[in-house]
Structure 1
Amino acid sequence: MSVPTPILYWSVLETEDWRLHLAATEEGLCFVGAHGQPYTELTDWASARYPRQALARDDSRLQPYAAELAAFLLGKQEHFALPLACRGTSFQESVWQALRAIPYGETRSYSDIARAIGRPAAVRAVGAAIGANPVLIAIPCHRVVGKNGTLTGYRGGLDMKSRLLAMESGRPLTATAAAPASVEIR
């Protein structure tokens, strides 16, 4: 008797201004891909993190996650309630948990996160763990800025980071960073 291959389900959330690849296991959301990045970002990530799992598109299974992300992008929701299933080292997971504790509309520095996890000298390692965050937006790494408040690297690009921070702070968005008008799974 053969054991069925576990499946990693995926979908695409599109609005007029956002295109996000999503993936989930039976346990929860495990990947949100960057705005404008190709499908290969998802496949490369999946083959590295879930090498024994088949990728299968399933828009209906991902619909609750897409709806929650869409509500966030439309400014109708500030927190994510659906389960996340992120795999990382214990250090990475502690950093990701600290990111989830950053209140909506606020930012923290890499040093702040290092202190929050009890490792004040591990600022570079914190940066690497933030860069390895597989679930953009739901684990709000966009809320981490340089010590002097400058925008620093972001897997989704600095434009996306800037748009998310402006949206959360209530600042008006520029024409290129307008709030999404419609949402659909494609």
Structure 2
Amino acid sequence: MDACDENEVPSRKESPPGPSGNGLPRILIASHSEEDHDPVDIGSRSSPCRCTLPQKPSVRGPGKGVDRQLGETEGAVAATTQQRKNFHARKNTLAREPLRELDVADSELAKLTAGTGGVRIVWSTTLRSTVGRAKLRRAPSRISRVPIKREEAERAGVEIAYFLTIELAERIVDSEDRLVSTLAHEFCHLANFLISN
């Protein structure tokens, strides 16, 4: 037996067989009932079989009648909040450790920034479109007409102070994994600045 009842065949007669408006041939099905011997055209826009399928129950949001398991969600929120508080309490010390490990170029960055205090890490609340930003500032110790580049500065007797800063978005960097990956990325920018001048 079909999914459709025999009684659900439309009572009006369909158009005679022939090509439909879209250029495809119409498919005709003969009725199995003894009462109706007219063929049914299923190539028309409306389906002759009015089968009802079981509908899925609609899923509603938490405020619209679905009971939330408050004990589990409150516990998860409290644990996440505690993790963030712990991270914010020790984020400055966590940021220093990867910088020592990342300085693999014979400690060249540490040598260049020794007089200025090394690489500074600044936590910013205003960064919204990026996770971090690398900044390099060069300051000559003596004014000279020679362009400020490291190779030429050594010949001309001009010393250059390098101020390196990594600015991190406080709102986005909220875990140790994000901190390490962002520091590694920004450290590569600083190393590139200093190597390529």
Question: TM-score scaled by structure 1?
Answer: 0.20
Larger radius of gyration between Structure 1 and Structure 2: 2
The structure showing larger relative contact order (alpha-carbon pairs under 8 Å, at least 6 residues apart) is 1
Question: TM-score scaled by structure 2?
Answer: 0.20
